[in-house]
Structure 1
Amino acid sequence: MSHTLFIADLHLCTEEPAITASFLHFLRREAQHADALYILGDLFEAWIGDDDPNPLHAEVVTALRQLSIPCYFIHGNRDFLVGKRFARAAGMTLLPEEQVLELYGRRVLIMHGDTLCTDDVDYQRYRQKVQQRWLQTVFLALPLFGRQRIARKMRNGSKQANRNKDLSIMDVNPQAVVDAMSRHRVPYLIHGHTHRPAVHPLEINDQPAERLVLGAWHEGGSMIKVGPDKIALIFFPF
């Protein structure tokens, strides 16, 4: 039966080979039967440029290239520097940070989800800074070892900052969700980022709606399957 798949927050890295192996298996066995695959950010734990010779990246490129279905990618907060060179090699289409899809008679808004976490003021300031094109251009012009050093420092700083934050401010702001769905006139929203997989019933402009949140791939994987009959959040073991 026709269906479209969504995944996010795999955080692929060389230190977690089991997650990479599960992703490659997912592409071969599950994704091949879908109409399309959408990756909603943080496919990688970190990304310092398309010129990074990490063998993991080449392995992922090869696997994505072998897909017989369209594959689309929205940047996450960890891999916002994934560029056209990598996307072209992998056969992926890069999408803007917010995209509305028409799927089997439904209007669905998709995004990574970090822009909805407006209560985390420090993160939103950081995001606004690193999204500046001139800063990204300067960073990508640095030697590879320099970018690696900066990325390690930023990751360690982010982990420390998150440990000191109230968990509630790292989740989405309810009004930000309503505003985004109202702006795009959609009854469905799919996103990742928060690592809090769930299906949230909502009411948008006096109409029933749903916010579906993908989980991170830690001990197991998760995906959202959208078909003609239903939308389902599905968990599976590695």
Structure 2
Amino acid sequence: MSFNGVVPAESCLSKIPPLQNPVFIADLHLAADKPATKEAFFKFLKNDAARFSELVILGDLFEFWAGDDHAPAYADILEALKAFFLNGHRIYVMHGNRDFLLGKGFTAATGAQLIADPIPVQVGFDHILLSHGDMWCTLDPEYQQFRATLRSPDVQRQILGEKLEHRIALAGGLRNQSAYDIQEKSKEVMDVVVNDVAVPCDNIEPKSLFTDIPTVLHTIRTSMKTRVSTAGYCLTGISKTVVPAAAT
């Protein structure tokens, strides 16, 4: 896979057909040095996910993705996704803060489609807003500026113009910075701001949100009576559960 000039920020669908029977997952952070998590994901695709029409991945499927020419490092994962797609399932993938460079090469290799963040979708009679969720961590302006920079088409074009080894080094630096921030910043600063989450939800009726940030689940339900669900799958090192669309 090579960069074809269309950057990831310009490759996302802003609207998709109604979902029939979806399952939502997020934040798996798959990597070669996490074999147990990978094997659990493969098992999930063959067993649990096979019961659903659509697989919706709400960001950070990979620990990091340095561009579509980085794909050989994840060949077994791409093959598993392509097999799942060829078995008649639709796959939708949202960018996270670790794999924001997923592009057209990734979608060609897997059959997946990239979706915008956030994106409203219809599931049965419900209208649901899907998001990775980090855009609402607004008490951390430094992170929000950083996030906006990395999602700029011009910046992505510049990054993808660098050699792969330089991009891998950049990704390593971003991982180290993330680890430092977790240690140095308070949970309150790194968490979502509930009132900011409420703004896009005001346009969704019935009010529903799927995100990968667990704190939103309790806070929104109790203070705003908006139906919110966290997404994810119970894999090694990940304390989340499968959330079909009907969950509340």
TM-score w.r.t. length of structure 1: 0.86
Task: Verify: 1:82 aligned to 2:99, yes or no.
Answer: no
> Which amino acid in structure 2 is aligned with residue 49 of structure 1?
G
Question: Following TM superposition, by how much is the alpha carbon of 1:74 offset from its aligned partner in structure 2, in angstroms?
Answer: 0.9
CA contact (8 A) 1:202 1:211 kept: no
Task: Verify: 1:39 aligned to 2:38, yes or no.
Answer: no
Question: Following TM superposition, by how much is the alpha carbon of 1:103 offset from its aligned partner in structure 2, in angstroms?
Answer: 0.7
> Which amino acid in structure 1 is aligned with residue 136 of structure 2?
L
- The corresponding residue for 2:123 is 103
Check 1:146–1:180 CA distance in 2 against 1; reply closer, same or farther (3 A cut).
Answer: same
Matches within 5 A, 1:67-216: 67=84, 68-192=88-212, 194=213, 198=217, 200-202=220-222, 208-215=225-232
CA contact (8 A) 1:116 1:177 kept: yes
CA contact (8 A) 1:196 1:215 kept: no
Task: Verify: 1:15 aligned to 2:33, yes or no.
Answer: yes
Question: Following TM superposition, by how much is the alpha carbon of 1:112 offset from its aligned partner in structure 2, in angstroms?
Answer: 0.7
Q: What secondary structure is seen at the aligned counterpart in 2 of 1:51?
A: helix
Which segment is superposed worse, 176-185 or 113-122? Answer: 176-185
Distance 1:98 1:219 in 2: 23
CA contact (8 A) 1:13 1:45 kept: yes
Q: What secondary structure is seen at the aligned counterpart in 2 of 1:27?
A: helix
CA contact (8 A) 1:187 1:209 kept: yes
Q: Deviations over 1:59-79 (max 9, x none)?
A: 111111111211101111110
CA contact (8 A) 1:87 1:94 kept: yes
Structure 1 residues without counterparts, runs of 5 or longer: 233-238
CA contact (8 A) 2:66 2:171 kept: yes
CA contact (8 A) 1:41 1:112 kept: yes
CA contact (8 A) 2:211 2:229 kept: yes
CA contact (8 A) 1:191 1:212 kept: yes
How many residue pairs get matched? 223
Cα RMSD of the aligned pairs, angstroms, is: 2.0
Q: Deviations over 1:155-176 (max 9, x none)?
A: 1122112210011121110111
Structure 2 residues without counterparts, runs of 5 or longer: 1-19
TM-score w.r.t. length of structure 2: 0.83
Check 1:183–1:201 CA distance in 2 against 1; reply closer, same or farther (3 A cut).
Answer: same
Question: Following TM superposition, by how much is the alpha carbon of 1:183 offset from its aligned partner in structure 2, in angstroms?
Answer: 3.4
CA contact (8 A) 2:194 2:216 kept: no
CA contact (8 A) 1:197 1:215 kept: no
Higher helix share: 2
- The corresponding residue for 1:6 is 24
Question: Following TM superposition, by how much is the alpha carbon of 1:109 offset from its aligned partner in structure 2, in angstroms?
Answer: 0.7
Question: Following TM superposition, by how much is the alpha carbon of 1:187 offset from its aligned partner in structure 2, in angstroms?
Answer: 0.9
Q: What secondary structure is seen at the aligned counterpart in 1 of 2:55?
A: strand
CA contact (8 A) 1:202 1:210 kept: no
- The corresponding residue for 1:52 is 70
Distance 2:226 2:243 in 1: 16
> Which amino acid in structure 1 is aligned with residue 75 of structure 2?
A
Identity %: 30
CA contact (8 A) 1:198 1:214 kept: no
Q: Deviations over 1:33-90 (max 9, x none)?
A: 10211000000011100001544x2111111111121110111111011001111210
